[in-house]
């Protein structure tokens, strides 16, 4: 399949505003000053990553679309997003495959600059994919490509994509993995290269889009499993494991070591799709001004549209395990981030957003 045909399934266009919500559970007033509606858009922000700048503005980035090589959007409240630009004017020059795509960005503020890590890979191929980095003085760009951090042949491993940059005790690390195990490796102090012979194993096969947050005395490794990128036939969902050490081992709610899980949907899901929102996955997370965690992710399709679209839902904690959107399914309407108020009786889900 030609590259643009594949990327068209990811989708990119203007997002229409959601209207009335038919609730399941308690009725909630449709008040945009206190509640938001999913999807929060814009369409096309698959594999979303997000950061908050010093002035309080949030910036989101997504996998490339037919219109952009890594689109950028901004928001003041995490719920209302405005597209602004593309992070790249042209494709990085360290691959010679015209079908290679720039996917799964990972934004970070490090060494006084904004580091945008990205996957550079050919769809469905193991032709030496890798993770590159571009830097900028502003989260809005322009980003200047610095080339690859590592490629599969450098580490002797397959599918080196879907990066997650973390700094632990002052040392930078990169976690990556897509369907052939999750691994981590130490990076050089400038975050531009890998340190040889420092790889470590975190999780098994048939998982991708790893993301780690630290809370409750644990590191939580979220990841997506199931099939993405198939529209209404997608089976994406989000699972999780936790560890007292960044380096693992990570165990899920059943006490299973994630390294022993190698089948789709073999862990414990914390976010699964509904008839309205198909295939939620490839998430990131950020804390609002009150310290509350919010998960940003994409769905592969909505009730009305077969395109990837950006979503947001609250992460709460029960027995030190994450609970997303109160019941583990995408919400249609929830209290606004940053308000310090979130009651599950005010969260609705189920079929019902209409044009």
Confidence at residue 86, expressed as pLDDT on a 0 to 100 scale: 96
Tokens of 255: 């006490």
DSSP character at residue 33: T
What would the pLDDT profile of 48-100 be if each residue is shown by its tens digit?
999 999 999 999 999 999 999 999 999 999 999 999 999 999 999 999 888 89
In a domain, 351, yes or no: no
What would the pLDDT profile of 208-225 be if each residue is shown by its tens digit?
999 999 999 999 999 999
102: number of Cβ within 10 Å: 24
Confidence at residue 17, expressed as pLDDT on a 0 to 100 scale: 29
Tokens of 135: 């830097």
How far apart CA 280 and CA 348 sit, in angstroms, is 17
Taking residues 135-161, report their average pLDDT: 94
Confidence at residue 30, expressed as pLDDT on a 0 to 100 scale: 55
63 versus 10: which is more confidently predicted?
A: 63
List Cα–Cα distances, 18 to 5, 178, 300, 328, 336, in angstroms: 27, 33, 17, 21, 16
List Cα–Cα distances, 186 to 165, 235, 241, 246, in angstroms: 10, 32, 21, 12
Confidence at residue 44, expressed as pLDDT on a 0 to 100 scale: 87
What would the pLDDT profile of 225-269 be if each residue is shown by its tens digit?
999 999 999 999 999 999 999 999 999 999 999 999 999 999 999
Question: 215 has which bridge partners?
Answer: 218
In a domain, 354, yes or no: no
What would the pLDDT profile of 165-176 be if each residue is shown by its tens digit?
999 999 999 999
- Hey, what's the torsion of the CAs at 343, 345, 351, 355, to 10 degrees? -70
> Above pLDDT 90, what percent of the chain?
81
Closest CA to 44 of 98, 88, 81: 81
Residue 7 pLDDT greater than 60, yes or no: no
- Residue 325: left if φ>0, alpha if ψ -120 to 50, beta else—which one? left
171: number of CA atoms within 13 Å, CB side? Answer: 11
What radius of gyration, in Å, describes the C-alpha atoms of the chain? Answer: 19
In a domain, 96, yes or no: yes
Would you say 163 and 194 are in contact if contact means Cβ atoms under 8 Å apart? no
In a domain, 352, yes or no: no
Confidence at residue 28, expressed as pLDDT on a 0 to 100 scale: 43
In a domain, 114, yes or no: yes
Would you say 223 and 203 are in contact if contact means Cβ atoms under 8 Å apart? yes
- Segments forming the whole domain that contains residue 330: 3-346
Would you say 253 and 266 are in contact if contact means Cβ atoms under 8 Å apart? no
Confidence at residue 350, expressed as pLDDT on a 0 to 100 scale: 64
Closest CA to 286 of 57, 69, 33, 15: 57
How far apart CA 91 and CA 99 sit, in angstroms, is 11
Confidence at residue 8, expressed as pLDDT on a 0 to 100 scale: 32
List Cα–Cα distances, 176 to 26, 191, 330, in angstroms: 41, 15, 25
168: number of CA atoms within 13 Å, CB side? Answer: 19
In a domain, 111, yes or no: yes
21-30, 89-98, 150-159, 343-352: least confident range: 21-30
What would the pLDDT profile of 328-351 be if each residue is shown by its tens digit?
999 999 999 999 889 999 999 864
Question: 214 has which bridge partners?
Answer: 219
How far apart CA 313 and CA 329 sit, in angstroms, is 9
Question: 296 has which bridge partners?
Answer: 284, 312
Residue 32 pLDDT greater than 90, yes or no: no
Tokens of 277: 């929102």
Tokens of 226: 């199931």
Q: What are the CB-based long-range contacts (under 8 Å, 24+) for 150-155?
A: 150/174, 150/185, 150/193, 150/194, 152/126, 152/128, 153/128, 154/130, 154/194, 155/183, 155/185, 155/194, 155/199
> Above pLDDT 70, what percent of the chain?
89
In a domain, 337, yes or no: yes
CATH number of 189's domain: 2.115.10.20
Which helix (H) or strand (E) segment holds residue 3: the answer is: helix 3-8
How far apart CA 297 and CA 299 sit, in angstroms, is 7
2: number of Cβ within 10 Å: 10
In a domain, 353, yes or no: no
Q: Structurally, how many domains does the chain consist of? A: 1
């Amino acid at each position: 399949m030609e590259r643009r045909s594949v990327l068209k399934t990811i989708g990119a266009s203007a997002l229409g505003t959601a209207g009335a919500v038919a609730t399941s559970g308690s009725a909630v007033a449709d008040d945009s000053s206190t509640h938001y509606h999913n999807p929060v858009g814009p369409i096309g922000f698959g594999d979303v990553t997000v950061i908050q700048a010093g002035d309080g503005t949030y910036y989101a980035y997504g996998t490339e679309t037919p219109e952009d090589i890594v689109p950028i959007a901004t928001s003041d409240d995490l719920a209302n997003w405005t597209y602004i630009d593309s992070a790249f004017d042209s494709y990085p020059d360290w691959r010679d495959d015209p079908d290679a795509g720039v996917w799964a960005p990972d934004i970070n503020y490090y060494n006084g600059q904004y580091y945008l890590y990205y996957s550079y890979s050919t769809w469905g191929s193991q032709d030496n994919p890798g993770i590159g980095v571009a830097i900028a003085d502003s989260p809005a760009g322009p980003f200047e490509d610095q080339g690859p951090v590592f490629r599969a042949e450098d580490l002797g491993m397959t599918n080196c994509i879907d990066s997650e940059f973390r700094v632990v005790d002052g040392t930078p690390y990169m976690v990556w993995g897509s369907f052939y195990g999750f691994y981590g490796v130490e990076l050089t102090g400038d975050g531009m290269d890998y340190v040889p012979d420092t790889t470590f194993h975190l999780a098994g096969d048939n998982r991708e889009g790893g993301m780690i947050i630290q809370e409750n005395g644990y590191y939580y490794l979220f990841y997506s499993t199931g099939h993405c990128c198939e529209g209404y036939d997608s089976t994406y969902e989000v699972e999780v494991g936790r560890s007292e050490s960044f380096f693992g081992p990570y165990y899920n709610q059943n006490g299973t070591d994630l390294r022993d899980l190698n089948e789709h949907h073999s862990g414990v899901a914390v976010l699964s799709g509904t008839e309205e929102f198909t295939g939620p996955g490839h998430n990131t997370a950020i804390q609002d001004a009150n310290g509350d965690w919010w998960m940003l992710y994409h769905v592969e399709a909505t009730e009305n549209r077969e395109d990837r679209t950006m979503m947001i839902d609250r992460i709460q904690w029960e027995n030190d395990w994450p609970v997303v959107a109160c019941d583990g399914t995408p919400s249609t309407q929830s209290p606004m981030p940053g308000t310090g108020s979130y009651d599950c009786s005010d969260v609705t889900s189920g079929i019902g957003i209409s044009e």
